[in-house]
Amino acid sequence: MIDVNAYLGHFAFRQLRHSTAAALLRLMDRTGIQRAVVSSAASITYRNAQSGNEEVAAEVKPHRERLTPFAVLNPAYAGWQDDLKICHRDFGMKGLRLYPRWHNYRLTDTSCLELVNAATELRWPISIPLRVEDRRQQSWLVDVPDVDQEEMAALVKAAPKASFILLNGSGYVSSPLGRKGSGLPANYAVEISSLAAVLANELGQLLETLGPDRLVFGTGMPFHYPDPALLKLEVLEAAEEVKDKIRSRNAARLLGL
Amino acid sequence: MFTRRSFARACLAVGGASASPSQSGGVRVIDAHTHLYHHSRASWSEDDRKLIEAADKLGIGQLCCSMLPPRRPATPESFHECNRWTAEVMRRFPERILGYCFVNPGYTREALAEIRRAVEQDGFIGIKLYNDYRADEPVVWPIVELAIELRVPILHHAGHTSWLPQPQPRISDAGHLAELARRYPEAMIICAHICGGGDWEWSIKALRNAPSVYLDTSGSVPDEGVIEMAVRVLGAARLLFATDLSMTASLGRLRGADLSEADRNKILGANMQQILNRRRGA
């Protein structure tokens, strides 16, 4: 099983109890997750996101067979081109994670498109959490909305050669991202941790509209308990072959494993 | 007794067993807070059936439900209609659907009559209050006094955010419920959806010194650590498993929480069963 949505390090507004590699690996062992894509939780609020990438690079070094690091870069901040090179060449990172709302830029800004194109040149997948925290529980210091799905759709259209993984999102079926025939390129996959798997069953709906190759397993740990995502996959009414794709095969393809 | 993994397997193994309400570790799993669909929604009947199907799939034996009118503030006609429809679903799915009687406390006479009729004649198990008034407003007091007399709980909508503007100007938070409990320590008050009501750390801390207030674990927010903190600060005896229609998130967090099996069983159903027994022993 591959989790495309995991994190290491501290988060500015809440204690994460399993924020080290050792603690995350214990959670993974308990839940049968073999590999996780990790990025810095601290980089979400660091002004200089690269400091968080340095922390993650050091933390994952002894565990590269199980923890795959992604770089958090801010295209609105000085020196991202240099940071990208260092994350790729020196840290051996394998993908990009973007926080347009927390880092105060839009996905369709020229600088963001430059970063997306540069990551695509490196054959890096680009993962974008549409939400970090539920807005109702945010600190009095911040008011950060979710990433707008129309804006997300504009980016996937503007960068058809890129490979995107959308994290912590729901409500896709009401946006072009989840609709059949929306004219968008098939260059994005949807991670399942925030999708309903019973009642409205958005997970089942997306299986119909996007197909089994474009859904990937993720948990959001250690922000989240991993178990809700596991439970969603267990109750999903789909063939075992389809579940295998969601559990690991689709992610392995996207990560080049 | 159940481990985290065996609990999940046991819950899933009962899929399709709608005839026999589900058990976990000898405890019937009770969802202490969920909803039926208002009949203005075209698919309400099908959606109610899907709710039972999902409960079967997840091993939830009983669902404590209310129905709220879509327009606020609720009027006596609109809350009576909702409760009448809830009673119909209770009859359609006996022993699976338990009803909370929803009222607007602003209509004191009608609300009190509605509650007494619903509990004594239709077998409702509790009262549901939403955001028509805050829990610390005197208009709520007669409702609480009747709940004490009837030995039924009050499930109170709640949430706490740290930023303005508040989209629900009269929403109660855990602090308001703690204040109400200090006035009426014999009342059984349930603070709703810790995982769908904003800053859950604030809410748990606000309830620390209000020992008669229960906390329901429902909501869509899957934050790691919430259940462990609630047990540490409030004790497992004050927590009630619930979904508020976020079914996999809510059951998943109970499955993932680092708890003793005795505490997990209390939260999954034993605590709510004790609350239900108080009315039955009345």
What's the pLDDT band for B281 if we cut at 50, 70, 90?
Answer: confident
Q: Give the confidence band of B25 by pLDDT, cuts at 50, 70, 90.
A: low
| pLDDT reported for residue B12 | 45
Instruction: Give strand pairing partners of B102.
Output: B128
Cα nearest neighbour of B258 on chain A: A225
Helix (H), strand (E), coil (C) string for B49-105: HHHHHHHHHHCCCEEEEECCCCCCCCCHHHHHHHHHHHHHHHHHCCCCEEEEEECCC
A150-173 pLDDT tens trace: 999 999 999 999 999 999 999 999
| Helices A227-235 + B4-13 axis angle, to 10 | 20
Per cent of chain B over pLDDT 70 is: 90
Whole-number Å distance between alpha carbons of A155 and A175: 14
In the prediction, which pLDDT does B19 show? 32
Whether the CB of B225 is below 8 Å from some CB of chain A: the reply is yes
Taking the domains of chain A in order of start, what are their residue ranges?
A: 2-255
| Residues A39, A70 contacting (CB under 8 angstroms) | yes
Touching check for B50 and chain A: CB below 8 Å? yes
Q: Which of A34, A23, A30 is nearest to A1 (CA)?
A: A34
Quick check: A97 and A129 in contact, CB under 8 A? yes
**Is A137 close to B200, i.e. CB distance below 8 A?**
yes
> Under CATH, which number does the domain A2-255 receive?
3.20.20.140
Residue A41 and residue A16: Cα distance in Å, rounded?
9
pLDDT of residue B167: 75
Task: Inspect the interface and report whether the beta carbons of B252 and A231 lie closer than 8 Å.
Answer: yes
E strand or H helix at A7: strand A2-8
Segment B52-92, tens digit of pLDDT: 999 999 999 999 999 999 998 999 999 999 999 999 999 99
Q: A90 with A68: CB under 8 angstroms? A: no
The answer to whether the Cβ–Cβ distance between B197 and A143 falls below 8 Å is no
Distance of residue B264 Cα from the nearest chain A Cα, in angstroms: 15
The 10s digit of each residue's pLDDT in A50-92 is: 999 999 999 999 999 999 999 999 999 999 999 999 999 999 9
CA distance B205 to A8: 27
DSSP B235: -
CB–CB of B221 and A134 under 8 A?
yes
Whether residue B247 lies within 8 A of chain A, CB to CB, comes out as yes
Interchain CB distance below 8 Å, A232 and B252: yes
For domain B4-280, the question of CATH label 1.20.1260.10 is answered with no
B147 part of contact set with chain A, CB < 8 Å: no
| pLDDT above 90 (res B15) | no
Which residue ranges of chain A lie beneath pLDDT 70? none
**pLDDT value at position B18?**
33
